[in-house]
Structure 1
């Protein structure tokens, strides 16, 4: 099988020296890739600079990205160049990226100027004025290569990123697609319900649902949700990798 695995966590630049990222190490994605390789499959491993990676071999191709924009571009390229029998999208993709930043003084000055010209002081009118000011400031181009620290507060404007997984089924309708859902401090029922919603929304074959509070080193409780509602549970990264590989192989065999 020709397999694509995404792993690690994207990083979104604020300026040339600062960024927003997450704590994903890519260890689960690495374990999944190595399990596929051990079963004789070909793996494309799409990851980030600081994530762990499987050892180089003739059966693995490692591709590297940094931002969500990079990921979207690389995914579109890979999905147009190859047909993948299975895609395991375990990468922790940033929900938001930096649009611009402004010092506190810029916000207060802009608000004061707009409110000084205000004629209508009803709540709805004031809300509309504030909204317009925020929209104007938030869409300004970030010109500084390094944001000055000469302010007590820095306002960072974030814009919502596209959901990468949503493009996969459209571009590769026959692939066996495994999505991932990470929540924190929820019940198992809620975890399964949210994971099932993710599965249906993105037309996945499986979703691996996990709770951050149950992840400690190699101990990693994961619930693999099937498209028919069946669930299977594993308690370590290695067991999760084995569970995913076995199910992708079975589903792939049924597709062929």
Structure 2
């Protein structure tokens, strides 16, 4: 079984020294890569900039990228041959229209940046998904959590979405723990308690494997 996983943030450069990014550590995506590899899968982990070392498991190939465009290119090259897609990365929604060739100097009290929309990796690849491929997304929400997650599930053609609420203590970015709810395209919902991310990854992988035709 071949698995594609995206993990971590993307960094969208403003100039040679500054970027737009987010607080994603990549821990959840890396834990999922380990859990899939332990289950016998061949994993390609497309990772944005993180402080994590590449997983040591021989079943995991790590590709390092910086920007959303680079992450899309790496994922698109792997996606057609993968049985399972897991979009765990926190991809920047926007990037600066222009990247300054030199460091932007301080001048005046305000600085106006024009941002343009980044490629939506999951949605774009979702348009090419074959019936036998299984696609998993993540939704990090702060309000109307289930409604927003279900809308994202449908829009991006996910089979399953992992919902994190930032209202749950110990969940989301910068934590070694996570509390997730799994929402499925057929309406099923599974709520898990707060657990270490490595254990959360095993719960998610076990659920995915149970849904795959050749594992059922």
1:77 and 2:77 are equivalent in the alignment: yes
- 1:98 matched to which residue of 2? 96
Residue 65 to residue 16, structure 1, CA distance change in 2 (3 Å): same
Query: Please, what is the CA RMSD of the aligned residues?
Result: 1.9
TM-score when normalising by structure 2: 0.89
1:219 and 2:173 are equivalent in the alignment: no
Q: For the residues of structure 2 that align with 1:244 and 1:16, how far apart are their CA atoms?
A: 38
- Superposition map of 1:171-186 within 5 A: 171-173=128-130, 174-184=132-142, 186=143
TM-score when normalising by structure 1: 0.76
- 1:157 matched to which residue of 2? 114
Q: For the residues of structure 2 that align with 1:143 and 1:11, how far apart are their CA atoms?
A: 15
Aligned length: 209
- 2:201 matched to which residue of 1? 241
Of 121, 138, 157, the match for 1:203 = 157
Whether the 8 Å CA contact 1:177–1:204 is kept in 2: the answer is yes
For structure 2, list consecutive stretches of 5 or more residues without a partner in the other structure. none
Whether the 8 Å CA contact 2:209–2:215 is kept in 1: the answer is no
Whether the 8 Å CA contact 1:86–1:175 is kept in 2: the answer is yes
Of 90, 104, 110, the match for 1:147 = 104
- Shift, 1:34, TM fit: 1.1
Residue 254 to residue 169, structure 1, CA distance change in 2 (3 Å): farther
Any runs of at least 4 consecutive aligned residues in structure 1 with deviations exceeding 3 A, and if so which?
none
- Shift, 1:251, TM fit: 1.9
Q: For the residues of structure 2 that align with 1:168 and 1:49, how far apart are their CA atoms?
A: 22
Structure with the largest fraction of helix: 1
- 2:67 matched to which residue of 1? 67
Which protein shows a greater Rg? 1
For structure 1, list consecutive stretches of 5 or more residues without a partner in the other structure. 101-141
